[in-house]
Structure 1
Amino acid sequence: MGFRHTLRDDKLYFYERRDIMEQRHNYLKKIRQYRREDRPIVYLDETWANSHMAPERLWLDEQGRGGWKRPSGKGQRLIILHAGSETGWTPNADLVFRSKKNSTDYHDEMNSEHFLEWFQKLLVNIQPGSVIVLDNAPYHNSVVEKVPTKSSRKKEMQEWLTRKRIPFSDKDLKKDLFAKIQLSVPNRKLYATNEAAKACGHIVLRSPVAHCELNPIELVWADVKRYLKVHNKTFKLADLEQLVPDAFQSVTPEMWAKHCQHVQEEEERFWEKDGLQEESVEEYIIELGTEDDDDDIEVRDIEFEGEGEDSDGEQDECEPVMDENDRELLRSDAVSDA
């Protein structure tokens, strides 16, 4: 019959969600346009490294002896942030620091203030007119100015209207104040990363949700972690931290170019699969899990973390963390398929 019994790939559900398909189509059209314009494409991302990380396979003798024993647990964690392109790592763009939070999600270590500070340094180290590809982590989506929402306090709405010199009455209800705010805000939010990049002559392009295969730095992180696992002998965080620059150095420009070429092949695969055609597209910003509360966000929040679950129990950045509604949809689909 041509059927086989296999594990269900939950990512396929996200690939086929209408809103995420629209994100993917817009992204593919925009990045194709930028490549035609011969713009440099810069990819950035964050990852982690645990002090107890080590290869999962090792050589043993007939009695099962050999190799070295690693301590139990994951150990302490480093947070790593960097950027690169088909020509290799971006100069002076690495950021490595020690985790201070006891959290399973390394994204908790970063906030919009720290990210924007690093981002400003990145902007002066990339080629003019670059396109910067980033994902939808909350700290990537901080706005230039926080606009009150329907759930904001009345006083906050009044203060915002006062700063904008928009007249209102003390007798106005919250709904009246919010209506005036909606009439006064721009059609699109002004994101801090977008505005900073624009001021330096660059463009920010956000990748679609759950599409880590469209960012070559995900493959680069695998190379970096492979080096760290092989050379991590003491399982001490300080020693692991000293290995990170060498791990970066181990990823050559040729490796970066190969990974970028692979990503372009993935783009073509999606392009053909989705039956896309050449046309001009509007700029599309994905509002997903921003740090600023917004009652009017159209795309439902989905969280992604890790790089596929590894032997240390870390979940990979490519894997979706589904909420109960998503799981119920999958269970319902499974019942109907049966």
Structure 2
Amino acid sequence: MGYKWQKCHNKRRILVERPAVIYARSVYLREIRRIELTDTSSSNRLILVHAGSRAGFLNSGNLLFKASTATGDYHRQMNQTNFEKWTTEMLIPNLPPPSVVVMDNATYHSVQENKVPTKCSTKPVMLEWLLKNNVEASILMRKDELFRLIEIHKPKEKTFKIDEYVKSHGHIVVRLPSYMCDLNPIELAWAKIKRIVRGHHINSDLSLIKLREVTELAISQVTEEDWRGFDDHVIVLEEHYWQRDGLIEDAVDRFLSLRSAMTVMIVTPILPYL
């Protein structure tokens, strides 16, 4: 879940957040701060897709459709096709440019553009990628040779299809770091909508039409004032994480430095006797 055990100088272990998670959060916070400073249970199930900002939910940005199953992880039913359709038909036409789109790393958000082959890819796939990227390669070459070329010419960062599409319309995309859904204000909006729906005493025989009516009513009751509160809450969290990560980074470095110093102190006296 993003944590690991780290040995200290006294041989005890402390539970610390994985550096990769801290790094990803730091990158996200730095980018979102830069942008801000630059001023720029029924048997029926519904899946809701929406976008919002300090001004409230995006006008005409609401996609509400029936889940195909009422049990299991129905979140998986939101797929790339549905998400891209919503983005092209509802999000982009109603999004005032330039906007900052904060997006998590759900599978349907993360279809790669120009996906880089791996060592396990077939030879034709490797060749196709190399030729598509204007790298000379031959069918006579072995896979290890092809993969070396791929490693040399692959882009430094992954590019995602949906990010490039949104950027092409004059917007900025910022990806949430893993395990950090609390940095997304819309999670607070979802929580309020669910509370309102539950308050209508939903039961198993509620019709889909009625469930839709209740859900749309709940959406309408999430006000602009609510959204400002959600956004302010996240801004406080961003500052908290930014300050805390800096303190933890320094503390861990001190632990590691102390451990190194203790090692030197123990080893040095016996060196003359070797």
Q: Same fold (TM over 0.5)?
A: yes
Counterpart position of 1:56 = none
Partner of 1:275, secondary structure, is helix
Counterpart position of 1:76 = 44
Counterpart position of 2:56 = 88
Task: In structure 2, list runs of 5 or more residues that go unmatched.
Answer: 5-14, 248-274
CA shift, 1:84, in A, is 0.2
Identify, as 1 or 2, the structure richer in helix: 2
Task: Find the partner of 2:82 among 89, 94, 114.
Answer: 114
Is this contact kept in 2: 1:15–1:21, CA < 8 A?
no
* Distance in 1 (alpha carbons) for counterparts of 2:149 and 2:78: 34
Q: Could you list the per-position Cα deviations for residues 8-54 of structure 1 after superposition, in whole angstroms to 9, with x for gaps in the alignment? A: xx777698111010111111111111111112xxxxxxxxxx42xxx
Counterpart position of 1:221 = 190
Is this contact kept in 1: 2:127–2:138, CA < 8 A?
no
- The yes-or-no answer on 1:18 pairing with 2:16 is no
Counterpart position of 1:202 = 171
Partner of 2:46, secondary structure, is strand
- The yes-or-no answer on 1:186 pairing with 2:187 is no
Counterpart position of 1:36 = 37
Partner of 2:163, secondary structure, is helix
* Distance in 2 (alpha carbons) for counterparts of 1:110 and 1:85: 22
Task: Find the partner of 1:135 among 70, 90, 104.
Answer: 104
**How many residues in Structure 1 have an aligned counterpart in Structure 2?**
234
* Distance in 1 (alpha carbons) for counterparts of 2:128 and 2:243: 51
The letter of the residue matching 1:36 is L
* Distance in 2 (alpha carbons) for counterparts of 1:79 and 1:161: 40
> TM-score, normalising length from structure 2?
0.77
Partner of 2:192, secondary structure, is helix
Is this contact kept in 1: 2:183–2:237, CA < 8 A?
yes
Counterpart mapping for 1:271-286 below 5 A: 271-275=242-246
* Distance in 2 (alpha carbons) for counterparts of 1:118 and 1:15: 39
Is this contact kept in 2: 1:193–1:204, CA < 8 A?
no
Distance 1:261 1:107, change over 3 A: same
> TM-score, normalising length from structure 1?
0.63
* Distance in 2 (alpha carbons) for counterparts of 1:184 and 1:113: 30
Counterpart mapping for 1:150-169 below 5 A: 150-164=119-133, 166-169=135-138
CA shift, 1:78, in A, is 1.4
* Distance in 1 (alpha carbons) for counterparts of 2:48 and 2:16: 28
CA shift, 1:164, in A, is 4.5
Distance 1:164 1:271, change over 3 A: closer
Counterpart position of 2:67 = 99
* Distance in 1 (alpha carbons) for counterparts of 2:71 and 2:144: 39
Counterpart mapping for 1:168-183 below 5 A: 168-183=137-152
CA shift, 1:259, in A, is 1.1
Larger-Rg structure: 2
